[in-house]
Structures are given as structure tokens and as C-alpha cells.
Amino acid sequence: MQAAIDAGLSISGNVGKYLESLPRATLDQLYTQPATCLAVLRMLPSLAKHTVLRLLYTSSAVRESVIESWAQPEHSGIFLDILGGLSKLHIVSLGSDGGKRTVSINVVFQTNLHNALVGSGAHSSFGLPSESSDKHRPTTAFLDRYATECWESVLHYLVGTPSEKRPKSPAHHFRESTLTLRRRTDGELRITSKGFQFLLQDQLNMQLVEVLNFFFQLGSLELGQDYSIETLTPTQKHMLDDLKHLGLIYQRKKKSTRFYPTRLATSLTSGSSMSVSLTSRDQAAESEGFIIVETNYRVYAYTNSPLQIAVLSLFVSMRVRFANMVIGLITRDSVRDALAKGITSDQIIAYLTTHAHPEMRKSSPVIPSTIVDQIRLWEMERNRLRISRGYLYQMFSREQDYRDILKQATDFGYELWHSDAKRLIVVSNEGHEHIKAFVARQRQQQQQQQQQR
């Protein structure tokens, strides 16, 4: 049953949502690189991967009923959800043939994914290993330590905790503005909601496709291998300096003609979140879990790490601090403050679960259900209204026309709202073109029938 629940998702997390928001033309440009196609495939859920691979060697549209037959009869609806997710990524397109709904794979994606799997096409898409040897070649342990130190400095800077090592040129890489950080009246920096989203935004007018392709390329590189910068575009070469400060790549000198991806970079498209096996110095003592949450909303954290305490302070009201432990309360105000900064209830619950003390892990569920439910209820208080852009369909001359269009919108997941009494339908932006084409076909069929009479 869990597979059925997850099947409708395309790519979970912010990456999937961001890719779904891109227009078809931009995604087609991204899919011209085999490394990008392979990275997207690896991030898809298992059943979505299965669907794409079965469509990979098709040369024409496949009827939806055929795809439904791949699952057992009681789970035939799973693939409808999968196709909806894949169509948002423009990996497949939905159409009709003789009244039968069909599915066809994006030719650009199909060609370059095939090239990635069989090793043909543009080999530079997966990076060009340096031909000359490096006498200063770093070890894997050095790359892990370097990546950890760089990333820790970023985290300390974002949450405003003191750190021995600060990010280089913070005014350039982390702008003290409402986009990422806000300086309080007492002079301290505090992260804003967009800072938690933490997206790389270059101050120059970089080409979006080149930036995204480089990130996807990094996820396909080999840890410890040195790669030449000769095949990189000017935009991608400019990115190296930013990625170096984030710990994603290592360059011994700024003018070096080679770079090394770290474990942070090679795990970008591994298909599972937080798969990096780096151990933070601040988290080493708490690797087995350090948080205890009681049913009275009291939180005990056995840590003296300034970073861990600062993170907890984002959604916990701190009351007492000892040498190796802090005590706080999860309150409505503390959770609402976190929600206002852009942190979600799922992120709070996931953090508490991930860092739960071993004694708490003996219970099921790990975090008391009363705490989990209350955190979600506090979030629901802020999310009573949901704003979605869409198109309104109205003034149907016949009841049957209204029913046909409503069924079409519902089946493909495009319906946002409808009213049977007023014959009103609101469809999403993504589904407008599809429904508009369906309406045009309906009118054409009705005109043909009238002429035959």
C-alpha cells in the first residue's frame, strides 16, 4: 500500500517542485544532456522509473489501458498517478487516439537517456577526467573533511552561531538582505524564510539551464577523480568558486585547470535524501541521537553543540541550559515562529525523529503522536486557505458537456474546484491547454454530427 501512496509523486522535495515549475522549453533544454536525464531518472520513485524504462524503447504512443495492465487489477489506478507526475516533468505527454487516451515519451528525454544508459552521445556530459596526474592529489578522507568544514561554516553562518571558520566573502555569497538574512536591531543576523530554502542565486545573469545541468552533472561524477574544466561553459566555470565555498568541489588553487567533486556533490542525485555519510564535528557526539520529547511538550537535548542548540531554538522555546544539556518547550508561538520562517511541520517532525535519543527509538511511534498531531494542527491554522492559479470554465449549454469536461479534468488531476449547481469548473494552469483541446474536439464532433443529420 505504501507503494501506492508514493507512486503519484514524481520527484519528492524541493527539486521535484522546482523542476515541475519550469516551462516545457526549459526542460527540453535540460534534457539535451544525458547526465541530466540519468540524474532525473535516479531521483524518480521506483514505479515511475519502471514506467519510464518500459516506455524508453517505444517509437509510438502507447494506450493508457496498456500501461494500466502492467499492475494488478486492484492497483491499476497507480499508473494514472505516475503518469500525472511524469507529465508535470514533461517526461511523458498525454493525448488521445480515436477516443482512447495515449501516452508518449518525450523524444528529447528518450534519446539522451538512451545515450546515458548505453554510453553514446556527448561524453563530456559526465565530465572529462584530467589526462595529467596531480602530484598534490587529495585523498578521499581529505575531501570529506574539507566538505564537512565548509558546510559547517555555512550552517553556522545561517543560524547565526559563532564558528571558528566563517564562509569566505560572506557579503558576496550570503547577502545580508531580506532574501537570505536579516540584521536585527541588536546587530545580530537572523535567517529569513527564503534563507531556509537556501537556493544558489548568482549575482550575475547566469544561464539557468547551464547551472542546472552542472548540478546534475556533479551527481554523476566519481568521488576522488579529478576532472578538467576545459569542457565547462564560462557560466559553469564561474560557478566553481561558489561551489568551492559550499564544500561541493575542491580546487587547490583558483586558477587550477582541474577540480575534485566531494561526497556532497556526488550524492546530489543519489535518489535518497541526506545520503551523505559525512560526520559533522558538532554532531559526532550526537550521532546516535540526543533529543528526548515528552508528552507534555518538554524537550531535553543532550548536547553542547552551539549549532544543534541554535537549530532547536528555531522551533523550541529554550528555558534552561546546562553544560551538556538544554531544556525547552514546544509551544504554539515557537512553532508558529518557525512556520513563519518557512520551516514546515514535516521538517520539524523529521528533525526530532532523526535525532531522537536511543531510548525514544524503543517506542513506536518515536515521537509521541500527541506532539506530532499538535504541530501539524498549528500548521493547519496558518494554511486554512490555499491559493492556486487556474482557469474557469462556465456557461455550459448542456449538462452532458459539463460532465464530460469535469470527468476529463478529474481523471488527469487538473481539477481544482467545481460546482455542480452552477456548472462551474476550475482547472490548473498545467491542465488548461489539455482541457481546451478536449473542448475543441468536443465542439468539432458535435458540428460533424449536426451536419450528418
The 3-state DSSP class for residue 419 equals strand
Query: Using CA atoms, how far apart are residues 101 and 64, in angstroms rounded to an integer?
Result: 6
The 3-state DSSP class for residue 362 equals coil
Query: Using CA atoms, how far apart are residues 401 and 393, in angstroms rounded to an integer?
Result: 11
Q: Which one-letter amino acid corresponds to residue 412?
A: F
Residues whose CB is less than 8 angstroms from the CB of residue 160 and which lie 6 or more positions away in sequence, other chains included:
188, 189, 190, 191, 310
Beta strands across the sheet bearing 258-261: 227-228, 258-261, 249-250
In Å, how far are 84, 119, 259, 281 from 114, measured between CA atoms? 22, 8, 28, 42
Beta strands across the sheet bearing 415-419: 390-393, 424-428, 415-419
Largest separation between any pair of C-alpha atoms in the chain: 89
What's the grid cell of residue 109? Answer: 528525454
pLDDT tens digits for range 291-316: 999 999 999 999 988 888 988 999 99
CB-based burial, 346-374: b 16+ in 10 Å, e otherwise = eebbebbbebbbeebeeeeebbbeebbeb
Residues whose CB is less than 8 angstroms from the CB of residue 432 and which lie 6 or more positions away in sequence, other chains included:
390, 391, 414
Query: Using CA atoms, how far apart are residues 432 and 204, in angstroms rounded to an integer?
Result: 35
Query: Using CA atoms, how far apart are residues 198 and 180, in angstroms rounded to an integer?
Result: 7
Local confidence pLDDT in tens for the 453 residues of the chain: 444 444 444 565 667 778 888 888 889 999 999 989 998 998 888 888 988 999 999 988 888 888 878 877 766 677 777 888 898 899 999 888 777 889 999 999 999 999 998 887 666 778 888 888 888 889 999 998 998 888 888 777 777 666 555 555 443 444 443 344 444 444 444 444 444 444 334 333 447 888 888 888 888 888 889 999 988 888 888 888 888 888 889 998 888 889 999 988 888 776 544 334 444 445 444 457 899 999 999 999 999 888 889 889 999 999 999 999 999 999 999 999 999 888 899 999 999 999 999 999 998 899 999 999 999 999 988 877 777 889 999 988 889 989 999 999 988 888 999 999 999 999 998 889 889 888 888 888 888 888 877
Query: Using CA atoms, how far apart are residues 278 and 266, in angstroms rounded to an integer?
Result: 12
Query: Using CA atoms, how far apart are residues 18 and 88, in angstroms rounded to an integer?
Result: 11
Residues whose CB is less than 8 angstroms from the CB of residue 276 and which lie 6 or more positions away in sequence, other chains included:
263, 264, 267
Instruction: Of 48, 26, 172, give the one whose Cα is nearest residue 105.
Output: 48
Query: Contact at 8 Å (CB) between 78 and 7?
Result: yes
pTM of the model: 0.61
